[in-house]
Amino acid sequence: MAGASENRDSDHRESAIDTMKPHDAALALGVRQGLPVALRVLADKYPRDMWAGHSNIGEMARFWLQRHDMFREIGGILRHCMEAYRAGEADAAAFQGQLIRPLQFFLTELNSHHQVEDYHYFPHFRAADARLSPGFAILDADHHAIHDSIEQTVAAANAMLKAFSTQQTGSSLLSASGAPIQKTSDTFRKAVDDYAHVSERLIAQAVAHLIDEEDLIIPLILERGEEAFGVA
C-alpha cells in the first residue's frame, strides 16, 4: 500500500506541474506563499536544517548563500534608514546621507546577481531535473518583476533627491507669477512616501524570491553535488 500511495503522490505532483504556468496570478511574486507543492519534491527531502552540514554543499553553494544573506542584510539597513527618518531619529540630510550608498550597492549588485544566475547558473540547474523546470520559469518571472521594481526605485530615489535639493533652496525659488514657492516641504514629503512605497515593495520581493530560489536550488545541489552541474 505504501508503494501505491507513493505512486499517487508522484502522479499528483506530475499533474500539478503539467498545469503550472509561471504567468498564473497565483504564482506571482508577492502573491504566492512559497513554492507550490509540486516543486517541493526535493525541498521536502532536504529541509533547511540539513543544508549547512551536508557533504554536497560546496564552495559555490556557500558563496551563493552568502550573497543572498548580504542582500537580506542590506535590505534591513535600507529599511532601518527609512524607519529612523520617519521616527524623527534622523533629519532629511542625515537620512539621505545614510541611504544613498547602500541603496546604490543593493540595486547594482542585485541586478548583476540576477544576470549571473540567468545566463550562467540557471540553464545548468534547469536541465538537471525536469520536475523542477517550471520552478525556473517562476524564478525568471520573479527576476523580471524585481527588475521593474529596481527601475521604479531608481526613479523614486532620484525624484526624492531632486525634491530634497529643491527644499534646501526653496526659500529662493519663485513661481511663474513671481510669488515664493511655499510647498517644497510637502513635495519632499510626498517624494519620500513614494520612495518608501516602491523600495519596500522591492525589498519584500527580493526577500521572498531569495527564499523560494534557495528552496528550489539548494536541495537540487544536495541531491546531485555541485560537480554534476559543471558550475562548481
- pTM of the complete model beyond 0.85: no
Torsion of CA 213, 215, 219, 221, to 10 degrees: 20
Residue 187 confidence (pLDDT): 84
**Could you give the CA distance from residue 154 to residue 148 in angstroms, rounded to a whole number?**
10
pLDDT in tens, 30-66: 999 999 999 999 999 999 999 999 999 999 999 999 9
**Could you give the CA distance from residue 110 to residue 130 in angstroms, rounded to a whole number?**
27
To the nearest whole percent, how much of the chain has pLDDT over 70?
82
Which amino acid is located at 44 in the chain?
D
Region 199-227 average pLDDT: 97
Region 152-164 average pLDDT: 94
